[in-house]
Amino acid sequence: MSGAGHGPAAPLAAARAFEDALLARRQGPPDVPAALAEALAEACGGAPPDDAAVAAAHAIAAEVQRFGAAFPPGAEPAYHDRHHQAEAILAMGRLCGLARRAGLLDAAAATLGVAAMAAHDLHHPGHSGEASISLEQRSAADAAGIAAAAGAPQAWCDALGRIVLATAMPQPAEDEDVPLLHRLAHEADVCGSVLPRLGRRLSAAMAAELRAAEDPAAPVPATHAGRLAFLRAIPRFTAPAEALGLGAARAA
């Protein structure tokens, strides 16, 4: 899907349409491999090339699905579940597709970006008090191992890992020189939380996940003040994210 119409209302309409699609997917069971296939097609402008990078992306998505399905019923992390990971993948597919059509990325870079979002919360146990960067480091290492076993070259695996690490908080300052895929990865990660209806659901899910970890700050994400602080902390959106409507959604 792309933005509807032209003018100031178009980005907000695009955000609402994307949110509608994500909410509809949540009516069914989480399907990370299907989200990956859809995101790759969006990012690449059609069927992606049949190469080691695509094989690696599919292998990572399959492991995300397996890991999440292995939790006992009701025990999968409330926020960092397969729905969130599928949504981040779909958001990255949309952002990379917009960037590719604007001449900012080629299909190979777009494929790498989508694969990295499949990897970004790989084997995430839910909040446990562990530092965010430690979780990202583990996800990056595990994903690189899966990608290498699927035939991806070492340089590609290293680049994948760097994008995963770029999703950790806090984010670099807006004036820092950060690769576009790194910025897009953070935007894809928070995309669902920026959207008004899905975002409120995710704020409540984050609070529940923190509560399960007995974090004293657990109530904060679901409060109006906590949500406002989260929205204000996001760096200036990239041009693809603005086109998707994330800036308009945050402003609204």
Contacts of 219 (CB under 8 A, 6+ apart): 207, 211, 226
Residue 90 has pLDDT above 90, yes or no: yes
Q: What is residue 118's predicted lDDT score, i.e. its pLDDT?
A: 98
Pick from 26, 93, 89, 97: nearest CA to 61: 89
Q: What is residue 6's predicted lDDT score, i.e. its pLDDT?
A: 56
Does residue 201 sit within a domain?
no
Mean pLDDT of the chain: 94
Does residue 236 sit within a domain?
no
pTM greater than 0.85: yes
The answer to whether 86 touches 35, Cβ cutoff 8 Å, is yes
Q: What is residue 2's predicted lDDT score, i.e. its pLDDT?
A: 42
The answer to whether 84 touches 191, Cβ cutoff 8 Å, is no
pLDDT > 90: percent of the chain: 87
- pLDDT tens profile 188-222: 999 999 999 999 999 999 999 999 999 999 999 99
Residue 36 has pLDDT above 60, yes or no: yes
Residue 1 has pLDDT above 90, yes or no: no
pLDDT confidence bin for 3, thresholds 50/70/90: very low
Does residue 189 sit within a domain?
yes
Helix then strand count (H, E) for the chain reads 12, 0
Q: What is residue 170's predicted lDDT score, i.e. its pLDDT?
A: 85
Does residue 128 sit within a domain?
yes
- pLDDT tens profile 134-187: 899 999 999 999 999 999 999 999 999 999 999 998 888 888 899 999 999 999
Does residue 240 sit within a domain?
no
Domain count, the chain: 1
Residue 131 has pLDDT above 70, yes or no: no
Does residue 233 sit within a domain?
no
pLDDT confidence bin for 74, thresholds 50/70/90: very high
- pLDDT tens profile 230-241: 999 999 999 999
pLDDT confidence bin for 129, thresholds 50/70/90: low
Does residue 88 sit within a domain?
yes
Domain that holds residue 154: 30-193
Q: What is residue 21's predicted lDDT score, i.e. its pLDDT?
A: 98
Round to whole Å and give the CA distance between 152 and 238.
Answer: 29
Question: CA torsion sign, 92 to 54 to 63 to 21?
Answer: positive
Does residue 221 sit within a domain?
no
